[in-house]
Structure 1
Amino acid sequence: MTLQISDDNRVRTLVLDRPEALNAFNEELYLATAVALREAGEDPDVAVVLLTGAGRAFSAGNDLKEMQARIAEGSYSSGSHFSTMITALTDLPKPLICAVNGVGLGIGATILGYADLVFMSSTARLKCPFTSLGVAPEAASSFLLPQLIGRQNAAWMLLSSEWVDAAEAHRMGIAWKVCEPDDLLPEARRHADILAAQSIPSLVAVKRALAEPYRAGITAATERENAAFTDLLGGAANAAALAAFTGQGSANG
């Protein structure tokens, strides 16, 4: 099981659960998360979704070993459940709270563009490693990050492939609150409970009003990013980066 799902007091908690791979997303986890988000959206007894990771990572991003194997066998071009999960995030009608308990790399960072509230451990850090992997941005991050943190902060995150620590993430505005590690989940849960005590139809109406202006931008950015990603995937820079990462036994991406 790659995803833990639990309900308490109208809050559905999703825990990414591949700790041996630092919760890197493989096809199974992308699909499981997408299905869980859709089911939470449709469940009349769920008011809020809380997403976090098991172990010492939030998510180390895309599972590069699986990606490299799919590129080699020619199946990657047929599509990925990555897009299934992004659609589910975009369509989620209820508030999404992310509790970033550890490293957030690649989709482990860009997924935060879809969160309504982000809590981050003081020891956590984020990285968008696209240029170091020789690829393009993903998950409409080229649109959502400038909206969330401003053009220059987004440019640094997307262009540099450098780590951003929790204090800097808070300054930029990608993290709403930074907590000591032991306080992270209690604080995220306390705020989730405040939201969950409200009228669910009202929460849905507010979320729709907040999210609707961004939908066209997400769609357009996704198309641009996917086209660029496809052009660059398997190119010299990408092939060398994948070989280096998988040679080190890393699942980061």
Structure 2
Amino acid sequence: MTLQIADEHRVRTLTLDRPEALNAFNEELYDATAEALLAAAEDPAVAVVLLTGNGRGFSAGTDLLEMHARTTDPAFVPGKHGFQGFLDALVAFPKPLVCAVNGLGLGIGATILGFADLAFMSATARLKCPFTSLGVAPEAASSYLLPLLVGRQNAVWLLQSSAWVDAATAREMGLVWQVCEPDDLLPTARRHAEVLAAKPVSSLVAVKRTMTEPLRAGIAAARERENAAFAELMGGPANREALTAFAEGREPDFTALPPGW
């Protein structure tokens, strides 16, 4: 199993469980997490979902070895939901989503915070949006949601620099709500999740709907723009160099790319 699911006090905790891969999302984990969100949305006994990771990582983003296989293996078989189906489930999720960032978060492990209703982060955790270092475009409507969440210039830095952001900086930006000592992270996130979960589900859903409905058109348009840019860049010279370098265990060298890349 790549996902642990536990219920307590109307809070469903989803724990990403590929610790050997820093909880990177392969097709199996995308499918399992999407299914879990869809099930939680329909379950009247669930008021809040709390998402965290097992081990040193929150999530290392999309599994780059699998991404490399997707671009090079004609026989690669995608999952039922995949990345886009997982995003569909996030966008549609009608109940509070609380994230507890326990460790490293890269790619979707960082941009998922655009969909979090509350986000808590370990003081030792770090985040990175590595799109330019992979030669690709943003994802998960982050080009729309992150400027709303942290302001334009912070979003530019996050999305264009591929730099690590520590917990204090993430809190200062507004990317997360609270920073906790590692041992306090889950108890603190759970305590706040249970405060919400004690309220009527119908009211929680109504509040979230009225807050997120004005954003839906913007999210959909951003995903369309990002998908088009990603499709254009994926498999291109910069992306091939980045993925080859990752597979070979070295830093990518973009200096020899054709002009414009």
Q: TM-score, normalised by structure 2?
A: 0.93
Runs of 4 or more, structure 1, over 4 Å off, are 75-80
Answer yes or no: is 1:85 the counterpart of 2:47.
Answer: no
Give the AA of the match of 1:24: A
Q: Is the 8 A contact 2:120 2:189 kept in 1?
A: yes
Aligned counterpart, 1:214: 215
Aligned counterpart, 1:188: 189
Aligned counterpart, 1:142: 143
Structure 2 counterpart SS, 1:178: strand
Q: Is the 8 A contact 1:71 1:77 kept in 2?
A: no
Shift of 1:74: 3.5
Answer yes or no: is 1:44 the counterpart of 2:47.
Answer: no
Q: Is the 8 A contact 1:51 1:98 kept in 2?
A: yes
Q: Is the 8 A contact 1:23 1:60 kept in 2?
A: yes
The 2-side partners of 1:75 and 1:148 are apart by 39
The 1-side partners of 2:234 and 2:75 are apart by 13
The 2-side partners of 1:246 and 1:113 are apart by 29
Aligned counterpart, 1:58: 58
> Please, which runs of 5 or more residues in structure 1 have no aligned partner?
none
Shift of 1:88: 0.2
Structure 1 counterpart SS, 2:51: strand
Answer yes or no: is 1:7 the counterpart of 2:7.
Answer: yes
The 1-side partners of 2:76 and 2:207 are apart by 37
Give the AA of the match of 2:68: Q
Shift of 1:70: 1.3
Shift of 1:247: 1.6
Aligned counterpart, 2:109: 108
Aligned counterpart, 1:72: 72
Answer yes or no: is 1:130 the counterpart of 2:116.
Answer: no
Q: Which has the higher contact order (CA 8 A, sep 6+)?
A: 1
Structure 1 counterpart SS, 2:132: coil
Give the AA of the match of 2:164: W
> Please, which runs of 5 or more residues in structure 2 have no aligned partner?
252-261
The 2-side partners of 1:3 and 1:165 are apart by 26
Aligned counterpart, 1:226: 227
Rg larger for: 2
Equivalent residue pairs, number? 250
